[in-house]
Copies of this chain bind each other. A is one copy, B any other.
Amino acid sequence: MNDYSVFCVSDHTGVTVEAVAKSVLAQFPRLECSLITLPFVDSADKAQAAAARVAASPRALVFSSLTDPALRVPFRDAGLQVFDVFELIAPTVEAALGEAATPSGGHTHGMAPDYEARMEAVNFALNLDDGLSPERLGQADLVLVGVSRVGKTPTALYLALQYGLRAANYPLTPDDLELDALPAALLPHLPRLRGLTLSAERLAAIRQARYPDSRYASLAQCRSELAAAERLFRLHGLPVTDTTRMSVEEIAARLRSPA
């Protein structure tokens, strides 16, 4: 099939409509397309300018999340197909609730009620990264535990940014792993600890990218550290997540809502 230019037009950041467009377009695997996001299209003038820009593309599709229906008009006037999240979903919700939608209600712009908590959680994750400030572990919602490069830091940051969870992370060093228990600093916090593991092959590849041909990155070393870490997880009965084929988004969603 020919290439399409897919425009994601939003009166806000465009993050939601981009995610929707990507999900829906994944159901058309033969489609080749490039995604262009046009955020903050929140006035008639900006809608007119965006529509003109889109109309100049030869094969354009428009996904939009424009709360004000008037902002969609310039696109339709230019003969463009528009798949609008609100237009396609709100009417069925209206029917179910027996209440009309208020388009001006719109997005949760700017500082949502949970915003301060999320930013505070980001600071927390940074302040308690990699075993820092262990005296504050008691303030954590979750403490991610695992060997070096298992994915603790990005997961903790994502838990904070996306969900406002205060996630600390604590490394298991080779020295820790030689002992028969988790580090003493962790023991008062067992119910909040979550073990992360992954395949030795994947860990070796990740470490290799950072320190090529080091002992640290060798498959034997990775195998031995992971086996010791998993033994400690079992010993203390920690819930364990195998992150081998998981993105941080997936790890975070599982940690947040355990099956």
- Which residues of A are at the interface with B, using a C-beta cutoff of 8 A? 1, 12-16, 19-20, 22-31, 37-40, 61, 65, 67, 81, 83, 85-86, 88-90, 92-93, 96-97, 99, 101-103, 105-108, 110-112, 115, 119, 122-123, 126, 129, 153-154, 157-158, 161-162, 245-250, 252-254, 256-257, 259
Contacts and interface: CB of A to CB of B under 8 A. Distances in A.
Given A1-B99, A24-B89, A85-B89, 14 more contacts: A13-B252, A15-B162, A24-B86, A27-B90, A27-B102, A27-B103, A27-B105, A28-B93, A39-B256, A40-B254, A61-B96, A83-B89, A126-B153, A157-B161
B99 A30 contact: yes
Contact of A245 (B111, B158, B162, B259): B111
Contacts of A90: 24, 27
Contacts of A154: 119, 122-123, 161
Between A1, A89, A157, A250, the greatest number of chain B beta carbons within 10 A of the residue's beta carbon is seen for A89
Nearest to A13: B253
A16 B27 contact: no
A55 to B, nearest CB: 16
Nearest to A67: B27
A29 B102 CA distance: 8
Given A26-B107, A257-B38, A81 B96 contact: yes
B83 A92 contact: yes
B39 A254 contact: yes
A246 B27 contact: no
A14 to B, nearest CB: 6
- Lowest 3 A-B CB distances belong to which pairs? A13-B253, A27-B101, A16-B19
A23 B19 CA distance: 13
Contacts of A105: 26-29
A24 B108 CA distance: 10
A134 to B, nearest CB: 19
Given A15-B19, A106-B26, A254-B40, A88 B92 contact: yes
